[in-house]
Structure 1
């Protein structure tokens, strides 16, 4: 029976997205994040619990991020590369404090299948429920929209507060018939939600080819009417469109780099939804949005995470 190696990174919460991306770029077949804030905050917001959660699995401080490697990728060189790249995050002014990297052997069958018994449908809003593709689920009411996902690559199951904030915001932003850009699409969950809410076209981008495949696979699980294109791209570099909505659920530091291109690629009156922003970075992102011409429409927060809806002003 094949053995994989699990790489565990215990680090401060702000580094979650960056370390997850590093694991994927190094070849991890999946990423999971254990964050005690998620465990403690879910009941407060009234969501059904997606996982059969056990409090002892959550670190008392910071987060525990796990990646999975096999064969030649499961090497000491990979471990050292992981450590070096986490250290390098400090040059991007990301507040990376002390971290610990450990490895452990795991059995393929146990890792690949055992977790599925804990993954169940979750109601994100009254109108939107995320369902693992192998689960049978019956709508609770006619207006309920179902997002089917295969979260095997863990690019975003919809349960993290940043994604929940985006899904809730999209319900208020989309009226039907819009053109939307999804930057850093990951699992494709926001693309799928946008299509279910009635947008006309979605152009989704991700820097990682594996994420693009994951998003395409998940889009194909859902019966969608929108015209959807998903392809690799570095943020909005080289993109020249006039969209109604741009959504980016990524790291605050990356959002800061994206803001000028987001403004350029929005129609007057268009909306920019940014999430993945740790609360300590909120003011910096808000200031940059204003400096680049945006008007702040709404700021929403869940636990330590913030989502911002900004509007490109109408032309005089």
Structure 2
């Protein structure tokens, strides 16, 4: 079978909507490639403002043209907000599609995201997470995911219980378990995300240490006060709405790591968590995106 590979370059803040567009109308998961030219071994990090390449794949069959049209319409809408180049097209074979190769990505101090098709000689200090190339979006190309992974690496301790609200590909849960968490629970309202997370945790060897659920919180299978670290890489409106159940889910003294919040909405999110017993430990940003570390105040409901 042959495939039509579509690719477009965009600033990091537009990766999420474009990836979603390619995922809805394409086959499998879209990939995101970050520019090279930096050496993580020397402490260098990628330029967070540099354009990235989003790739998606369409089967060449009677549905190809209608899928392309739907993607074109979505890209034209995004062009009302930002200037984008034309979508590039190239036909690839089954083998070329399955065996794409992407460079490993260093995240934080020791986490390394390695596509399964890529050979990587790890160092003793490396904590290697293998993912399918198509899941590269969940590996730190977007500032929100990058900051979430870096904060999880700082927060998770051996034996911790981890909750991921809006788990997507499951990469945050995989990272937490690789860092020594005892168990990870993931939640997502999208069926495709639930399926993807289950498959990726199985591939990573963490099936017995993980539970992936459909839905959001509160949830009858998510105990209040049951988690030491909670990751929530979701939109500001959703974080504000879920502030109370998020605080309720974490043990006293536990940590909630929020991301996916634009700097212009940060104060609203912070106030929502303070109102229900959260205390902000720190906040940081890359470009216009922020990540915040929040603890549950002792004695709060």
C-alpha displacement at 1:194, in angstroms? 0.7
Partner of 1:203, secondary structure, is strand
Q: Of 86, 100, 110, which aligns to 1:127?
A: 110
Give ranges in structure 1 of 5+ residues lacking alignment. 90-95
Give 1:7 deviation, angstroms.
Answer: 6.9
Query: Shift in Å at residue 114 of structure 1?
Result: 7.2
User: Mapping of 1:7-18 within 5 angstroms?
Assistant: 8=8, 14-18=13-17
Hey, what does 2:219 align to over in structure 1?
A: 238
Q: Is this contact kept in 2: 1:33–1:65, CA < 8 A?
A: yes
Give 1:295 deviation, angstroms. Answer: 0.9
Alignment of 1:68-217 (within 5 A): 68-70=57-59, 71=61, 73-76=63-66, 79-80=69-70, 83=73, 97=81, 105-109=89-93, 112=97, 115-116=100-101, 119-141=102-124, 143-217=125-199
CA 1:272–1:79 in structure 2 vs 1: closer, same or farther (change >3 Å)?
A: farther
Structure 2: gaps spanning 5 or more residues = none
Deviation at 1:297, TM superposition (A): 1.0
Instruction: Please report the TM-score for the alignment, with normalisation by the length of structure 1.
Output: 0.74
Conserved? CA contact 2:8–2:87, under 8 Å: yes
Report whether the alignment pairs 1:260 with 2:244. Answer: yes
Q: Is residue 149–residue 218 contact of structure 1 (8 Å, CA) maintained in 2?
A: yes
1:299 Cα shift? 0.8
Deviation at 1:182, TM superposition (A): 0.9
Distance in 2 of aligned mates of 1:208 and 1:291: 29
Distance 2:238 2:72 in 1: 20
- CA displacement at 1:219 relative to structure 2: 2.1
- Contact 1:48/1:122 (CA < 8 Å) preserved in 2? no
**Which of 207, 228, 234 is the matching residue for 1:250?**
234
Number of residue pairs the alignment of both structures matches: 292
Question: What is the alpha-carbon distance in structure 2 between the residues aligned to residue 131 and residue 310 of structure 1?
Answer: 30
How big is the alpha-carbon RMSD for the aligned residues of Structure 1 and Structure 2? 3.8
C-alpha spacing 1:292/1:26, structure 2 compared with 1 (3 Å): farther
